[in-house]
Structure 1
Amino acid sequence: MDAPPTADRKIIHVDMDAFYASVEQRDDPALRGLPIAVGGGGPRGVVATCSYEARAFGVRSAMPGARARRLCPGLIFVPPRFDVYRAVSGQVREIFSRFTDMIQPLSLDEAYLDVTVNKRGIASATKIAQEIRQMIRAETGLTASAGVSYNKLIAKLASDQNKPDGLCVVRPSEGAAFIAAMPVRRIHGVGPVTARRMKELGIETGADLRDRDMPFLAGHFGSAADYYYRASRGQDDRPVRERQERKSVSVEDTFFDDLTQQDALVAEIDRIAASLWTRIEKAGAWGRTVVLKVKFADFRIITRSRSFATPVRSQQLLAQAGRELLIAQLPLRMGARLLGLGVHNLEGDEAEADAGDQLALGL
C-alpha cells in the first residue's frame, strides 16, 4: 500500500523521561528526589543521563563527570545497568506494538510510531499517545512524553515541549508557525557548530531561517540547504522505518580553536571515546572496527581504522585503539578542526537511529 501524503500522516514520537535515572530512582526509593547521574563520575567519566533534580543545576547528558560534580556538588553517580534498561525498553516497545508495527526506535528510550493506520482503528493519534503514556506509567512505573504531528521533524520537537510527563500536538495547519518560533539550535540536523554559523548570519529562529532564500542557504550551507529550507517550513517527508540495520556508531566534536598539541588531542580522544562508549552501550551495538576521523583546518578529512577479531567490549580497549590511531598520525600536518571516533562492523541488536490525519483535525 502506498504511503499517504505527508500532511495526512499521523506520527507520534515517544521519549521516556530521564530514562536511565528514572529507572534507578524507581528501583531504589532512597534516590528519589535527589540529583543523580547515571554514568562514570571519574576524571574521564561521562554523564549518560541525569535526573531532573540534577538538571536544575545545569547537569546534562554527555557532560564530563568532573564538570557535573562542580555544577552539582551533591550529585550522586550511579553505575549504569544496561541489561535492566534494555528489559524496560522491551516492555515499552511491546506497548507500542499493540497499536502499530510501524515503529522506528532511535535508542532504548525513544521511538517514532506511524499510527496513520493502526491496529485498534483509533482515528485520533492524540488518543493513541495518551493511551500509550498511561500504559507505560501503569506497567513500568515510569513516565514518557510524546509529540504528535504530521511528520517526524515536528513530532520529535513536540515531544520535548512539555517535558517531563507531557504531551504536545501540532496539527498540519500549525506546523509552519511551530517551527517559526523554534530556536534553530533545536531543529534536528542543526548541530552546535551550524547553529553558531547561523547566529553569525542573523539566523536564530525558524522564522529567521525561513526568511532566507535558497541561493543564500546554498551559498552558506551547501548540500544541507534544501533540508534547512524545507524544515523551516515544517516540511519533512522521511517515513517511519520499521527496521533498519545500524551500520556504525560514532561521536565527533568540532573545536573552537584548532588543536595541535599531543596532550590536548589525546585528551579529546579520551573524552570522545567515553561519550562513544555510552552510546554503544545504550544501543547494544558492539563493533569490531574502530575508526578515527580527523578534519584539518583546511577541511581536508582523513580516516584511519583498526579491526579486531571480536567486537570491542570495553571502554578501555576502545579508548586505547583511538589513542593509538591518533598518535600514529602525529605530528599532524596542521591543526585539527574536528576529531571523531566510531565503531563499524557491528554485532548489535538495536535498530538504527536517524547520524518526519485526518487532516488538521484527526491528530
Structure 2
Amino acid sequence: MTEAATGTGTRSDPTATWRDEGARSAVDRWFALYPAVALAALLPIGAVTPLFPVEVGVATFAVGTLVVGMAHGAVDHLVPLRAAAGVSVRRSIAVVSVVYAVLGGAVVGAFFLAPVAAFVGFIALTWLHWGQGDVAALVVAGVDHLPTAAERWLSLVVRGGLPMGVPLLAHPAEYRLVAEWIVGLFVVDADAAAAAVDPLFVPATRAAVGGLMIAATAASVGLGYRRVRAGASRRGWLRDAGEVGALWAWFLLAAPIFAVGVYFALWHALRHVGRLVLVDHRAATALGAGDRAGAIRRFARDAAPLTLGGFLVVGAVGLAVPAGVAAPGDVLAVSLVAIAAMTFPHVAVVAWLDRRQGVWRPGAEREA
C-alpha cells in the first residue's frame, strides 16, 4: 500500500515540495524566522529567570514538551514513506519501529548500566541533533554562505553547542543539578550521585567547552563573512549571525532549564515540524496557499498517536527507575531519560532524511 492509496499524500515526486521555492519560503517564515524573532523578544524575560525558583523552569520545560516538543518526532514513522518513492506504509512503519525499539532500548539500558556516561552521551547526541536541525533549517532558508560540507559541520558544532554548552559556562550550578537529578534516578545514594558527576563540572571542563564554543563561533561567522566578500548573499549571512547572537544571549542570560524548555518548543521542534510539512505534499501545498491552520492540522493528526506513545514511554521509565519519582526534579529527570531514548532513533531517521535531501552535499539539496 502506498501513501497515494491511503489518501495521505502524492507519490509521483516525493521531494517536489522540498525543492519548491514557495513552499520552502513559507516554511522558513512560519517555522523558523518568526519563532526566532519571538525568542529574541523573550530575552528580557529570560534574563530574570535565574532569580526564579527552579520549579518555574521545570514547569516551562513540561509545557513546551507537552505542546510541541514531544510531537516533533512523532511523525518519524511516515518519513521514509514521504521522502522516498516506492516505500509502502507498512515498510515505512516497520523499519522505523525497529530502529526505535533497538536504539531506544539501548539508551535506556545504558542509563541503568552507566548513568554518568549515558548522561554525557545524551548531551553529545543532543548537541549533534540540534545542530543538525539548524543546518537543515539554513538549507531550507536558502543561505549560500555555507557552500561546503566542512562549513556546514562547523555550523552544526556552533548551533548544537549553544543550548548544550553555553549554559555550562553561565549557569553551572543548575546544569549540575539536572545531571544529579538524572544520575540520581539510577544511583539511589544522593551523595554518590553528586560525586559521580563531579568531573563534568570542574573548571577545566567548563574552560574547554567555552574555548571550543568561542573559537567555533568566531570561525563560522568569519568564514561566512569571507563568503559574503566573495559574492555570497549578505542577507543570509546576517540572518545566520543574528540567530547565533540571539542564541548566545539567550543561553548566557536565561536559567538553563527554562532556556532549554523554551528553545526546544519554540526553536528546534518547530523547525523540524516545518521540515516535515515540506515532505508532506498536501500540508506543504496548503501552507503555500496560505492555509497554515490546515497544514498544522494535518501534522497534528499524523503526530497524535505517537505523541501519546511518547508520554507512555515517560511513564514507563518513571515506573522502572530504581529511585522512584517523588519531586518535580525527578519528573524532569525521567522525562529527559525518556527523551534521550527517543532522540537516538530520531537522530537516525533525521540523518537518513538529511542524506536523502542532500543536506550535507551542498548543491545537491535542490536535486534530491
Which structure would you say has the larger RCO, counting Cα contacts within 8 Å and 6 or more residues apart? 2
Fold in common (TM above 0.5): no
| Greater C-alpha radius of gyration | 1
Higher helix share: 2
Q: Classify the TM-score, shorter chain.
A: under 0.3
TM-score normalised by L of structure 1: 0.28
TM-score normalised by L of structure 2: 0.27
